[in-house]
Amino acid sequence: MPASVAAILADYTGRTPLRLRAIDAYMAFCAGVAVVQLAYCAVVGTFPYNAFLAGFGSAAACFVFAAALRMRTDPRNAQQFGGRGEGAFAEFVVCHVALHFVVANFLG
């Protein structure tokens, strides 16, 4: 591993709280799921197109919701958003419930 990558990783793990690293891991998972679905669509095809749209849209929306949660719970953004983040987590959960309700209805 190059020294610059090791330095960036050490800085990230040293300065980023565990809670934000967990959100970052979830965001990486959501992005990975979206890439896998897009690759599958490119290789195999889009026969059940509504299923592809629902899955890809769900992964992308989950990524966006997690990014909003990360911004609101980051201690460096406390002045801009205020509060401790419990309200942001509640919004995250409510948005996920609504999203998955819409995705389940879109699948048919």
Identify the band that residue 77 occupies on the pLDDT scale cut at 50, 70 and 90: confident
Confidence (pTM): 0.87
Q: What is the pLDDT of residue 90?
A: 92
Identify the band that residue 51 occupies on the pLDDT scale cut at 50, 70 and 90: confident
Determine phi and psi for 87, rounding to 5 degrees: -65, -35
DSSP letters, 58-92, are HHHHHHHHHHHHHHHH-GGGHHHH-S-SHHHHHHH
Choice between 70 and 78, residue whose per-residue pLDDT is larger = 70
